[in-house]
Amino acid sequence: QKEVEQDPGPLSVPEGAIVSLNCTYSNSAFQYFMWYRQYSRKGPELLMYTYSSGNKEDGRFTAQVDKSSKYISLFIRDSQPSDSATYLCAMSANSGGSNYKLTFGKGTLLTVNP
Amino acid sequence: GAVVSQHPSWVICKSGTSVKIECRSLDFQATTMFWYRQFPKQSLMLMATSNEGSKATYEQGVEKDKFLINHASLTLSTLTVTSAHPEDSSFYICSAQPLLAGFSYEQYFGPGTRLTVT
């Protein structure tokens, strides 16, 4: 079983739809959870990060973490064509020292149609 | 702010030759830089972690003699793929962790370098 599982999609939605992106993980030591957006042939861009469980909202984006279920989500409200990209979840264990390694999901390709 | 550049953005080389990829943090100093490899429709796989002035730490399965990393300063790290073979063709992405990070896992990614070995 991979440490981080993410449905690669592709996911296609109409403009204005609510998008739900999800990842599951197996390593209970993960405590930091991040979502990145990656446009084609570009490096990932950090969207949001969350420590431990709970929700975090930033504009049209909401990140949720459920550590009991080892499940994280990213919701995008009022989706726009400019949101079309690959969304990657990433997580890291708080192992102390300088170990800031991230473990990524495969990414979900999202297309928002005008 | 927090811009990371990579050079070149795309390189084609012949099998057996070596290729150097540069990663620069343009407007901040980076304590740590990371090198990732990404195959089509696959996730980013961490290859190695480098700290300025120290030897890089390689992930299991990554050949340190094949992927040479030099972290010369707080703004520059280089990855050299030695004796490249077609199976090394991939998208190589670096990231940099700021010296004064807002949170422990804050990293900024470069735009990536597409390597094609013929």
Render pLDDT for B1-22 as a digit per residue (tens, 0 to 9): 688 999 999 999 999 999 999 9
What percent of chain B is predicted at pLDDT more than 90? 67
Task: Encode chain B in three state secondary structure.
Answer: CCCEEEECCEEEECCCCCEEEEEEECCCCEEEEEEEEECCCCCEEEEEEEECCCCCEECCCCCCCCEEEEEEECCEEEEEECCCCHHHCEEEEEEEEECCCCCCCCCEECCCEEEEEC
Helix (H), strand (E) at residue A85: strand A85-93
Q: Is A106 on the interface with B (CB under 8 A)?
A: yes
Mean pLDDT to the nearest integer, A32-50: 90
Q: Which of B21, B104, B114 is the mutation pick for testing A, counting most A CBs within 10 A?
A: B104
B115: amino acid identity, one letter: L
Question: A-chain residues within 8 Å CB-CB of B95?
Answer: 43
Exposed, middle or buried: residue B53 (CB in 10 Å: 0-12, 13-18, 19+)?
A: exposed
Render pLDDT for B49-72 as a digit per residue (tens, 0 to 9): 988 888 899 999 999 999 999 988
Q: What is the nearest CA distance from B54 to chain A, expressed in angstroms?
A: 13
Are residues B50 and B108 in contact, defined by beta-carbon separation less than 8 angstroms?
A: no
The answer on pLDDT for A98 being more than 60 is no
| Pairing, β B113-117 against β B10-13 | parallel
Q: What is the nearest CA distance from A73 to chain B, expressed in angstroms?
A: 17
Contact B112/A101, CB-based, under 8 Å?
Answer: no
Contact A44/B105, CB-based, under 8 Å?
Answer: no
Identify the pLDDT of residue A22: 96
Per-residue tokens: A9:
């999609």
- Closest of A11, A32, A14 to residue A95, by C-alpha: A32
Neighbouring CB atoms inside 10 A of A109's CB total 17
The answer on pLDDT for B40 being more than 90 is no
Q: Is B79 on the interface with A (CB under 8 A)?
A: no
User: What is the Cα–Cα distance from A37 to A48, expressed in whole angstroms?
Assistant: 10
Identify the pLDDT of residue A94: 63
What percent of chain B is predicted at pLDDT more than 70? 94
User: What is the Cα–Cα distance from A43 to A39, expressed in whole angstroms?
Assistant: 7
